[in-house]
């Protein structure tokens, strides 16, 4: 890997501690461009997943707010969009329905909680009984043997 003599202080202190040894070497006097590239790509992927960075043009990684309807546009389109989605233009009926469903589900879970032997509360913490171990399927065992045979 190509290494360049760049002082650690010459780069912004954006490199995480777990990457610093790889990027700057053990002594901190060298700079590994490949390690820094991998670090940058990892950070970019995390930022894309968190939606901190947007790519234009892109369907998957574009800014979702850029296509929102604003003020008068939304007011004009709201009845058509709500009708197409089968929703009321007023949020209260939908929220009331969802609130009632959540409350009903919560009460059903709370009622069955006492009769469930697989769930207990110990030291103010929820404890679930571990699942029984399943036997490995025969195709998986064969696949493992085939892979280890090819790797050796």
CB-CB contact of 71 with 59 (8 Å): no
pLDDT in tens, 64-77: 888 888 889 999 99
pLDDT in tens, 40-92: 999 999 988 888 888 888 888 788 888 888 889 999 999 999 999 999 999 99
> How far is the CA of 138 from the CAs of 34, 39, 131, 147, 149, in angstroms?
42, 40, 21, 14, 17
If you average pLDDT over residues 8-30, what whole number do you get?
A: 75
The pLDDT value recorded for residue 106 is 94
The pLDDT value recorded for residue 48 is 86
pTM of the predicted model, to two decimals? 0.44
Strand partners, 103: none
pLDDT in tens, 121-144: 889 898 899 988 999 999 999 999
User: What CA–CA distance (Å, rounded) separates 91 from 97?
Assistant: 10
Going by pLDDT thresholds of 50, 70 and 90, the confidence category of residue 113 is confident
The pLDDT value recorded for residue 104 is 98
């Amino acid at each position: 890997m190509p290494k360049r003599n760049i002082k650690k202080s010459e780069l912004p202190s954006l490199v995480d501690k777990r990457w610093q040894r790889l990027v700057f070497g053990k002594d901190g006097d060298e700079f590994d461009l490949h390690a820094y590239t991998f670090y940058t790509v990892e950070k970019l992927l995390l930022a894309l997943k968190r939606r901190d960075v947007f790519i234009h043009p892109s369907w998957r990684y574009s800014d979702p707010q850029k296509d929102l309807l604003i003020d008068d546009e939304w007011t004009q389109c709201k009845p058509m969009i709500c009708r197409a989605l089968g929703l009321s233009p007023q949020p209260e009926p939908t929220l009331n329905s969802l609130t009632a469903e959540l409350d009903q589900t919560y009460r059903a879970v709370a009622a069955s909680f006492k009769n469930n032997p697989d769930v207990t509360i110990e030291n103010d913490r929820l404890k679930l009984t571990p699942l029984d171990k399943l036997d490995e399927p025969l195709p998986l065992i064969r696949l493992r043997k085939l892979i280890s045979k090819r790797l050796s």
